[in-house]
Amino acid sequence: MRKLEFNYLAVISSSLFCLLALLSSCMFAVKHAHKINTDLVKRNPKFDAIIVPGVPLNNGTWDSVMKARVLWSVHLFTKGIAKNIIYSGGAVYTPYYEATVMGLYAQKLGVPAKNIYYDTIAKHSTENVYYSYLIALENKFSSIALATDPFQSILLRKFTKKRFASYIQHIPISFDTIRNMKIRDVQIDTQAAACKQFIPIAVRESFIYRLKGTLGRHLDFGAERQLPSLKK
């Protein structure tokens, strides 16, 4: 009985430790985002495009995470910080292309279709950046930034620094900013983003293969181990 009680307490203690570690990481990410955005306001930079990683469309509508990313991208575009937006994300967990869904919402919020680019191939966050960078190269963009939530921004910081010859600025979401945005409720035609031959990623790929994808192991960076510079 004592052994069971000990094991139970050990599990509780371990769970609490993990929860505290997660909360600390999130708090650090939010503070880090605030610092970056304060600096950006002072410098007032302009980017040819921002990269916005996708989020699955669940139950036919955007959840709080997708809404935050779309609103933040619309804010950066409206303020003139971003000239264009690259939405990235395939039909990974649900039968809708994540990039297309986000682009449809952005258009409803006033972003012209001509200023939106789509990557509908990416299945993981590392691939979001990789394929969006290729779009930037193709369209001769010379400066790009990653606009996503603070925690994901921190997770991708090392990847964006090492694997790309051009610097990718991180612009993590300011939740205070999007909370103060007066946004009307918008609806989109989800069928415009539907993937007709959809197979969930958990069915078509093994766990190990997906894990390697998350780490960017399936991407081809060439002999230089970096994608080339955006500036020619």
Give the N- to C-terminal CA distance of the chain in Å, as an integer. Answer: 71
Residue 44 CA from chain centroid, whole number: 22
Report how far residue 137's alpha carbon sits from residue 154's, in angstroms, rounded to the nearest whole number. Answer: 24
CATH of domain 45-214: 3.40.50.620
Residue ranges per structural domain of the chain: 45-214
**pLDDT per position in the chain (232 positions), as tens?**
544 454 554 445 444 443 444 444 555 556 666 666 666 766 778 999 999 999 999 888 999 999 999 999 999 999 999 999 999 999 999 999 999 999 999 999 999 999 999 999 999 999 999 999 999 999 999 999 999 999 999 999 999 999 999 999 999 999 989 988 888 789 999 999 999 999 999 999 999 999 999 999 999 999 889 999 998 6
Does the pTM surpass 0.75? The reply is yes
